[in-house]
Chain A
Amino acid sequence: DIVMTQAPLSVSVTPGESASISCRSSKSLLHSNGITYVYWYLQKPGKSPQLLIYRMSNLASGVPDRFSGSGSETDFTLKISRVEAEDVGIYYCGQLLENPYTFGAGTKLELK
């Protein structure tokens, strides 16, 4: 199985500042079709995960452009610029390249 390793496990951010979350996969997530199958989700307290970024760098519909995704074949970053109160929750990276789909352990974002 592909292991997804996130860091840090928690981050505390002052509103208005930026935050970055890293995710590393144990195997390249770059498919031969040129698509990198890494995804970023935010799970707000008591809610289902919501998609933020798909295929490494594409912003999901309705997601503020303060969110961005980047990376290589195995190392990925989610950046949140100008953090707001509504960004609080747990962020997960996930791979949908091969079965079983797997997710990182999550990064909890809190406000200072």
Chain B
Amino acid sequence: QVQLKESGPGLVQASETLSLTCTVSGFSLTSYHVSWVRQPPGKGLEWMGRIRSGGSTDYNSALKSRLSISRDTSKSQVLLKMNSLQTEDTAIYYCTSPPHYWGQGVMVTVSS
């Protein structure tokens, strides 16, 4: 059974770095891509970037300068780091193995 689960701090200070972890089960990170998608409160979905099964990455150009996605295949984890956080980065952050599988999401609030 495929599962993805996000974890990380619920509250981050502005200008600091966000670190999130997506732990997957039921599939191998070397076989499927994993993306990060975020959703500000009451708003729509924004694709942030992905790490491909081969380990290469693609980023949304709007976030590329601040975003890094990596993985630890031994732990079945995908890691997201985003620096210089602003209040506009307050959102639910989802990891997904598109198109079918999504995590439950983790709410991140950026405090000024």
Contacts and interface: CB of A to CB of B under 8 A. Distances in A.
Interface of A: 1, 39, 48-51, 54, 60-61, 92, 94, 96, 99-106
A100 B102 contact: no
Contact of B47 (A54, A60, A103): A103
Task: Decide if the interface of chain A is mainly helix, strand, loop or mixed.
Answer: loop
Contacts of A102: 47
A51 B100 contact: yes
Interface residues of B, number: 18
Contacts of B46: 103
A48 B46 CA distance: 13
A1 B102 CA distance: 23
A100 B104 contact: no
B38 to A, nearest CB: 11
B64 to A, nearest CB: 10
B98 A101 contact: yes
A54 B98 CA distance: 10
Contacts of B98: 39, 96, 101
A48 B60 contact: no
B100 A103 contact: no
Nearest to A53: B99
Contacts of B99: 39, 51, 54, 94, 96
